[in-house]
Amino acid sequence: VIGHSKYQESKRIAIFLSMPDEIQTEEIIKDIFKQGKECFIPRYKPHSNHMDMLKLSSAEDISSLTLTSWNILQPSDDDSAREEALAGGGLDLIFMPGLGFDKKGNRLGRGKGYYDTYLERCMKHPSGKPYTIALAFREQICESVPVAENDVQVDEILYEDC
């Protein structure tokens, strides 16, 4: 990931904070800050499909986040001091989680459509749609995954042996 050309040329990067069953992103987050890039993480709104990407000030900033009912760390609802990526310069790159992927770039998420809805908002931003890379285990690559018309394909899927 760190050697990837899209990562190297990106300045504003959104990345998920890993759940135990996902590719671990902690070292990538540390490298984002080491390289002087800007790091944004998701904040999900429960009972909706709305998600924002909020700026982290450092890798250590993660320890100040609150744990949601889904066991995901994210900025609290009353944390209004953080920049939302689309309120500023947009994003260059988004690293995406998922449950399953196929080689055509289709992604099976957790069913709420947070990333698809967010990417639609990105497309309306002056900076346009960021490049998207899904981080997966080899076992998550399927022949095909079910898709709906509002599902947005990922640009690339990185997994072992790809």
The Cα 14–Cα 118 span in angstroms is 11
Task: Say which residue the tokens 């002087």 belong to.
Answer: 36
Question: Is residue 43 part of an annotated ligand binding site?
Answer: no
Question: Is residue 115 part of an annotated ligand binding site?
Answer: yes
Question: Is residue 114 part of an annotated ligand binding site?
Answer: yes
Question: Is residue 22 part of an annotated ligand binding site?
Answer: yes
Kindly state the DSSP code that residue 73 receives in the 8-state scheme.
E
- Amino acid letter for position 136: A
Smallest Cα–Cα separation from 97: which of 79, 115, 71, 112? 115
36 CA to centre of own chain: 19
Q: Which two tokens stand for residue 14?
A: 């959104």
Question: Is residue 88 part of an annotated ligand binding site?
Answer: no
Question: Is residue 110 part of an annotated ligand binding site?
Answer: yes
Task: Say which residue the tokens 């800050």 belong to.
Answer: 33
Question: Is residue 36 part of an annotated ligand binding site?
Answer: no
Question: Is residue 111 part of an annotated ligand binding site?
Answer: yes
132 CB contacts (<8 Å, ≥6 apart)? 93, 94, 96, 119, 152, 154, 155, 156
Question: Is residue 119 part of an annotated ligand binding site?
Answer: no
- Amino acid letter for position 133: I
Question: Is residue 105 part of an annotated ligand binding site?
Answer: no
Question: Is residue 113 part of an annotated ligand binding site?
Answer: yes
Q: Give the residue ranges of the annotated binding site for substrate.
A: 17, 22
Q: Give the residue ranges of the annotated binding site.
A: 17, 22, 107-115
Q: Give the residue ranges of the annotated binding site for ATP.
A: 107-115
